[in-house]
């Protein structure tokens, strides 16, 4: 594995399988009375969040703490975009504090890449979501969740031949980018569904199929992932009204009825109930949305553990 996790494109199939297999071991920990391992004792993980994100930050914090790392939460309100302290100065501060890993969420695409490659810090950098670029740990937890439900009985985590449909604002979605790349690496067949205005230019070169017609593709899907649609996209003229969007691209009870029995429904959160997903779908038996959150902690534990040089088995070496 590379030193940093900036994009799921950086992960080979072996890397991805290792992370998912490690996460599976660590996932068992959640069911134990004592949920803590000493693996990263004495190491410092900094959560550097330039954008509000409650769930991702808490997930990383829980992951680091369960591995006994020291955690510093750094909510940097106002990046250099808003004339606050610059990314560089913040990075130098963290470096001076002796951070071993920096988990960074930033509104600018490529900010974690800059952090990792500009020589400002020596720490391992984990991208926790950058602009409209990528969100690799979200894709890993999505893949992990899919493997648990759809992965078959093979020894290795695999999604070979599984059909995943990702629906919504692909253009602005870092989750969609990371998932498209990772799921392809793991052998899944990915179809992106969106109105043409919300598919990026050049999507035809991505390792995915695309469709404008949700009803045509979901009956064959093994997993359907709904993406959040921000209401401000409406003022950008990407679609006429929220109602029309819901009608054409929302997942409601009628559409859910066309799914195969085993098909799962996913959402990276936060959901806009009534917009891209109706409440009855979100709360249905098919929905694994809450489980995604649980799995997120295990996946992030695996990432931190593997990046920070865990060569010993993560589980089993309790002192």
Distances (CA, A) of 295 to 121, 147, 222, 306: 29, 11, 19, 17
Single out the segment in contact with another protein by CB under 8 A; choices: 94-102, 125-133, 184-192, 302-310: 125-133
Nearer to another protein, 107 or 274 (CB): 107
Q: How many CB atoms are closer than 10 A to CB 268?
A: 28
Which of 306, 313, 311 has its CA nearest to residue 5?
306
In the list 133, 162, 163, 286, the residue contacting another protein (rule: CB under 8 A) is 133
Question: What is the helix (H) or strand (E) element at residue 223, kind and residue range?
Answer: strand 223-226
Single out the segment in contact with another protein by CB under 8 A; choices: 52-60, 128-136, 247-255, 272-280: 128-136
Q: How far is the CB of 74 from another protein (least distance, A)?
A: 16
Three-state DSSP class for 146?
helix
d(CA 186, CA 96): 38
Q: Is 3 in the site for another protein (CB under 8 A)?
A: no
- Spell out, one character per residue from 153 to 192, where the chain touches another protein: x when CB under 8 A holds, - when not: ---------------------x--x---------------
d(CA 163, CA 150): 10
Q: Is 79 in the site for another protein (CB under 8 A)?
A: yes
Q: Which residues contact 55 (CB under 8 A, 6 or more apart)?
A: 269, 270, 293, 296
Single out the segment in contact with another protein by CB under 8 A; choices: 16-24, 34-42, 129-137, 284-292: 129-137
Nearer to another protein, 75 or 92 (CB): 92
d(CA 96, CA 106): 21
Binding stretches for another protein (CB under 8 A): 79-81, 86-88, 106-111, 113-114, 117-118, 130-134, 174, 177, 200-203, 205-206
């Amino acid at each position: 594995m590379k030193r940093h996790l900036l994009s799921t494109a950086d992960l080979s199939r072996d890397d991805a399988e290792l992370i998912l297999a490690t996460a599976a071991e660590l996932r068992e920990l959640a069911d134990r009375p004592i949920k803590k391992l000493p693996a990263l004792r004495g190491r410092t993980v900094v959560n550097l969040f330039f954008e509000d994100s409650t769930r991702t930050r808490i997930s990383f914090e829980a992951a680091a703490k369960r591995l006994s790392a020291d955690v510093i939460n750094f909510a940097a309100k106002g990046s250099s975009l808003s004339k606050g302290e610059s990314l560089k100065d913040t990075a130098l501060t963290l470096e001076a504090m002796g951070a071993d890993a920096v988990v960074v969420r930033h509104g600018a695409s490529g900010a974690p890449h800059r952090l990792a490659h500009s020589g400002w810090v020596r720490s391992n950098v984990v991208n926790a979501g950058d602009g409209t670029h990528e969100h690799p740990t979200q894709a890993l937890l999505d893949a992990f969740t899919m493997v648990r439900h759809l992965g078959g009985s093979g020894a290795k985590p695999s999604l070979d031949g599984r059909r995943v449909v990702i629906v919504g604002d692909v253009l602005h979605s870092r989750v969609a980018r990371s998932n498209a790349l990772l799921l392809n690496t793991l052998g899944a067949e990915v179809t992106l569904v969106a109105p043409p205005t919300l598919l990026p230019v050049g999507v035809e070169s991505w390792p995915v199929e695309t469709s404008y017609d949700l009803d045509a593709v979901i009956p064959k899907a093994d997993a359907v992932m709904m993406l959040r649609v921000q209401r401000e996209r409406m003022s950008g003229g990407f679609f006429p009204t929220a109602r029309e969007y819901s009608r054409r691209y929302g997942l409601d009870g009628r559409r859910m009825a066309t799914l195969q029995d085993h098909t799962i429904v996913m959402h990276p959160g936060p959901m806009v109930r009534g917009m891209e997903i109706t409440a009855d779908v979100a709360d249905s038996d098919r929905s694994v949305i809450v489980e995604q959150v649980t799995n997120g902690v295990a996946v992030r534990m695996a990432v931190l553990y593997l990046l920070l040089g865990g060569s010993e088995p993560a589980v089993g070496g309790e002192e």
